[in-house]
Amino acid sequence: MVKTEKIKEIVEKNNGILSTKLLEENNIHRQYLKNLVDEGYLIKVSRGLYVRPDKDINEFYIIGEQYKSGIFSHNTALYFYNLTDRTPFTLDMTFTSNVRVSNYMLSPHYINKERYDIGLTTKELEDGTSIRIYNMERTICDIIRDRNKIDTQIFNTALKEYMKRSDKNLNLLYEYAKKFNILKILKMYLEVLG
């Protein structure tokens, strides 16, 4: 099989998206990728990420691919879980403490490696791509931990909306709160909400 045909096959199997990592995994030289870009079959959307021109790719997916060590969190996760009605101006992502990120589109948060994976999940987006994001319970713990940095209205709305949810997991929330040493604070807020 011709290498460009192999690339096209990979693109079709991967929902119209190609990363240079996929090329490396299939032992295909990047020159073949350049040929497909030159002929208009693919366009470059960010470093190491290419899509078919007819593919409308989600910005969250692109940022997630650019910052693979980051996990969507805080206000951005609240937005995905419909726990806020505000669209975030910048995207919140959490990284391990040994990573430093500087991008005007991001609000980076840092945490030690031991707590980094707690509540990590993936969320499929409407276009078939997926992102790494913290689950609802981890997100609630994050906003409680950073309550002095979060807008009061967003904070209160998120807690109220979470408590209304039928898919909430209070046992998991308490388990995470213990791991983050915020159990007393969590209980105080939940008592107020009644």
End-to-end CA distance of the chain: 65
Q: What angle in degrees, to the nearest 10, is found between the helix axes of 170-179 and 136-145?
A: 40
pTM (predicted TM-score): 0.82
In the chain, % of residues over pLDDT 70: 99
Same structural domain for residues 82 and 43? Answer: no
Q: Which two tokens stand for residue 12?
A: 């079709």
Q: Which domain holds residue 23?
A: 3-57
| 175 closest CA partner among 164, 183, 185 | 183
Same structural domain for residues 80 and 158? Answer: yes
Same structural domain for residues 104 and 149? Answer: yes
Same structural domain for residues 53 and 67? Answer: no
Count CA atoms closer than 13 A to 34's CA, side-chain side: 3
State the total domains in the chain. Answer: 2
Same structural domain for residues 107 and 133? Answer: yes
Mean pLDDT of the chain: 92
Q: For the domain that residue 23 is a member of, what is the CATH number? A: 1.10.10
Same structural domain for residues 186 and 96? Answer: yes
pLDDT tens digits for 139-191? 999 999 999 999 999 999 999 999 999 999 999 999 999 999 999 999 999 88
* Residue 64, phi then psi, degrees to nearest 5: -60, -35
Same structural domain for residues 35 and 94? Answer: no
Check: CB of residue 90 under 8 Å from CB of residue 106. yes
Q: Which of 57, 76, 99 is the last residue of a domain?
A: 57
Same structural domain for residues 43 and 125? Answer: no
Helix (H, G, I), strand (E, B) or coil at 43: strand
pLDDT tens digits for 63-91? 998 899 999 999 999 999 999 998 888 99
Q: Which of 37, 57, 77 is the last residue of a domain?
A: 57
pLDDT tens digits for 18-28? 888 888 888 98
Same structural domain for residues 66 and 135? Answer: yes
Same structural domain for residues 175 and 154? Answer: yes
Q: Which of 30, 57, 84 is the last residue of a domain?
A: 57
Check: CB of residue 53 under 8 Å from CB of residue 47. no
> 53 versus 84: which is more confidently predicted?
84
Same structural domain for residues 84 and 160? Answer: yes
Same structural domain for residues 19 and 88? Answer: no
CA distance 63 to 181: 31
- Average of pLDDT values for 113-117? 97
What is the pLDDT, as a whole number, of residue 55?
A: 80
Which ranges of the chain would DSSP assign to H, the alpha helix?
Answer: 3-13, 20-25, 30-38, 59-66, 74-80, 113-116, 136-145, 152-164, 170-179, 183-193
